[in-house]
Amino acid sequence: MSAPSLAPITTPSNGTVPTPGNLFTLDNRVFCCYLFWATVLVAKMLLMSLLTALQRFRYKIFPNEEDLFFKNIEVQFDDPHVERVRRAHRNDMENILPYFIMALIYISTNPNQDVACNLFRVASLARIVHTLVYAVYPVPQPSRILAFGTMLLITFYMAAVVALRTLSFI
Amino acid sequence: MSAPSLAPITTPSNGTVPTPGNLFTLDNRVFCCYLFWATVLVAKMLLMSLLTALQRFRYKIFPNEEDLFFKNIEVQFDDPHVERVRRAHRNDMENILPYFIMALIYISTNPNQDVACNLFRVASLARIVHTLVYAVYPVPQPSRILAFGTMLLITFYMAAVVALRTLSFI
Amino acid sequence: MSAPSLAPITTPSNGTVPTPGNLFTLDNRVFCCYLFWATVLVAKMLLMSLLTALQRFRYKIFPNEEDLFFKNIEVQFDDPHVERVRRAHRNDMENILPYFIMALIYISTNPNQDVACNLFRVASLARIVHTLVYAVYPVPQPSRILAFGTMLLITFYMAAVVALRTLSFI
C-alpha cells in the first residue's frame, strides 16, 4: 500500500532515487487525510452561503429586486448582521481557497506523514473556530486573529517547503 | 514510474474491486469530463471580469482615480448595473471555486463514471444558467435559487462521498 | 484500466511521444515549475491579507466592534486606502484562483515543457506587477490593465488547449 511512499527521496528528482510514482491516490495516508479535511472545509464554506441566506430572510435584507420575497420591502445593503457573515465568508475565500491548492501541491513533496496530517487537522479546525467566533457568535479578540493566523502560518510553512524543493525550476 | 499504479489496493476501498493507481490522467474518462467542464467554468468566470469591465465603460463607473478614462467623471461605487455583475461574480467565487477542488478530489474515489460525468455536466450547466438569470438578463425567482441550489447540492453530495470514504483518516 | 496509461495516445496529441502515466510528480519539470510559481502566487495572495491589516492599523479603520484596538474609534468602512487593497485582493481571487485550477489541469495534457513553464512564469510575474501598480504604488493606466490582461490571456489559452483536447467528453 504505502510501500512506494516509504522510499527515501533525494531532493528535486534529478538523482538516482525514484520519487514515489503517485502520491495522489487513496493509498497515500497523507492524501486521504487531505481529502477528509478539505471536504470538511468545502462543506463549511458552502454553509456560509446558507448562513448568509438565513440572515437575509431573518432580517429581510435582499440585494436584488427579484429577491424581495416579502411585501413592502426594498433592496437594502449594509445590514450589520448580513455583512458580518459576508465578511467571514470573504475571509474564508481569501484564506481557505489558496490553502486548498497549497496543501494539495505540498503533498507532492512527499512530506512526513504525521507532520502533514497534523497540519491539515490543525489548519482546518482553526478555520472552524474562526467561523464560530466571527460569524456565529462574535467573541472578543484575539480569538479571531489567532484562528486566522493558524492557517496562515501553516500555509506559509507549506509554501516554504514547496518553494525550497522546487527552487531550481524558477 | 507507473509500476506501483498497477498493484491492487486493499485499503479504504469497498472490497474486491481494486482502485486504479492513477485516476488523474487522460485515460480516465471521468477526469477528461472534469477537465472539459472545469475549463468551461473557468472561462465563464473570467468572462465575468470582462462583463464587469463592459458595464463600467457603458455606465462610466470606475472605482480608482487612475481608471477615469473619460473627462469630468469621478470615482463612483454602488452603481446597480455594475454591482449586480459583481454580486454574480462573487457568488461564482463562493460556489464554483470550492466545487473545483471538491470535484477534483471526488475523482480520486473512482466514482461510477456515468454518475460522475453527469454530475459535472449538470453542475456546470446550472452555473451557466445562474449567470444568465443573474447578471445577463435578470429573471424572477426561483430561477436563480434553483440554479444556485443545483451546484450546491451536487457539491454536498461529492463531499459526503469523499468524507465517508476517508472518515478513518480524521 | 491503468494499463492504457502506458499506451501511446493518438488523440489531439503531438504525434509519437506517449503520454507518461503520471504527470503530477516531481519528475515532471512542468509540474515542478507549476509548484514553484503557484507557491509564489499563494504567498503573494496571503500577503494581501497582511497588507490589508497593515492599512487598517495605519489608518485605524476596522469593520467589527471587536476589532477596535484603539480608544475613541468606531467601526468604519469605505476608507480609500483600505478599499484599494481590498479591491486588489478581490481581483487576485477572481483571476489567480481560477488560474490555479486551469494551470494544474493544463499540465495533464502534457504540454510542451518550455511553453508551459514560460506561461507559468509570465503569468505569475504579471500578477506581481499587478499588485505593485494597484495596491502598493498606484501607477497610471494602462499598466494595470496590461498586467491583468496577461494572466487572463494565458488562462484563456490554457482553457482552449484543454477544451479542445477533451471536447469529445462534453
Nearest-CA distance B147 → chain C (Å):
20
Distances (CA, A) of A45 to A53, A62, A109, C39, C48: 13, 21, 27, 23, 20
Alpha carbon distance B159, A43 (integer Å):
7
Question: From the list B23, B152, B162, which residue is nearest A39 (CB)?
Answer: B162
Confidence of residue B125 (pLDDT cuts 50, 70, 90): very high
Mean pLDDT score of chain C, rounded to an integer?
86
Confidence of residue C18 (pLDDT cuts 50, 70, 90): very low
Span C39-66, pLDDT tens digits: 999 999 999 999 999 999 888 888 888 8
pLDDT of residue C31: 94
Mean pLDDT score of chain A, rounded to an integer?
86
- Chain C residue with Cα closest to A108: C25
pLDDT of residue B8: 40
Confidence of residue C106 (pLDDT cuts 50, 70, 90): very high
pLDDT at C4 over 50: no
Distances (CA, A) of B132 to A116, B54, B120, B148, C102: 42, 16, 19, 12, 23
Helix (H/G/I), strand (E/B), else coil: B81: helix
pLDDT of residue C67: 82
Mean pLDDT of A18-24: 69
CB contacts of C138 in chain B (<8 Å) are 64-66
Cβ of B5 within 8 Å of Cβ of A18? The answer is: no
Nearest-CA distance A65 → chain C (Å):
24
pLDDT of residue C20: 61
pLDDT of residue A20: 62
Nearest-CA distance C167 → chain B (Å):
7
Top-confidence residue, B12 or B134: B134
Among A139, C11, A43, which Cα is nearest to B157's? A43
pLDDT at C15 over 70: no
Chain B interface, mutation test: which of A1, A46, A70, most B Cβ atoms within 10 Å?
A46
Tell me the percentage of chain C whose pLDDT exceeds 90.
Answer: 62
All 3 cell numbers of residue C157? Answer: 489559452
CB contacts of C97 in chain A (<8 Å) are 93, 97-98, 101
Contact partners, residue B32, CB within 8 Å, separation at least 6: B26, C166, C168, C169
All 3 cell numbers of residue B80? Answer: 446597480
Tell me the percentage of chain B whose pLDDT exceeds 90.
Answer: 62
Span B138-147, pLDDT tens digits: 888 899 999 9
DSSP readout, A36-76?
HHHHHHHHHHHHHHHHHHHHHHHHT--SSGGG--STT----
All 3 cell numbers of residue A96? Answer: 481557505
Alpha carbon distance C104, C24 (integer Å):
9
| Cβ proximity of B8 and C142 under 8 Å | no
Nearest-CA distance C27 → chain A (Å):
6
All 3 cell numbers of residue A50? Answer: 446558507
Alpha carbon distance B51, A145 (integer Å):
36
pLDDT of residue B67: 82
Alpha carbon distance C170, C160 (integer Å):
14
| Cβ proximity of C60 and B61 under 8 Å | no
Cβ of A18 within 8 Å of Cβ of B1? The answer is: yes
Cβ of C102 within 8 Å of Cβ of B69? The answer is: no
Phi, psi dihedral angles at B131 (to 5 degrees): -65, -45
Those chains having 3 or more beta-carbon pairs within 8 angstroms of chain A are B, C
Confidence of residue C96 (pLDDT cuts 50, 70, 90): very high
Confidence of residue A79 (pLDDT cuts 50, 70, 90): confident
Distances (CA, A) of B66 to B156, C70, C78: 43, 32, 18
Span B3-16, pLDDT tens digits: 344 334 333 344 33
Cβ of B23 within 8 Å of Cβ of A25? The answer is: yes
CB proximity B153 to A under 8 Å: no
pLDDT of residue B20: 62
pLDDT at B22 over 90: no
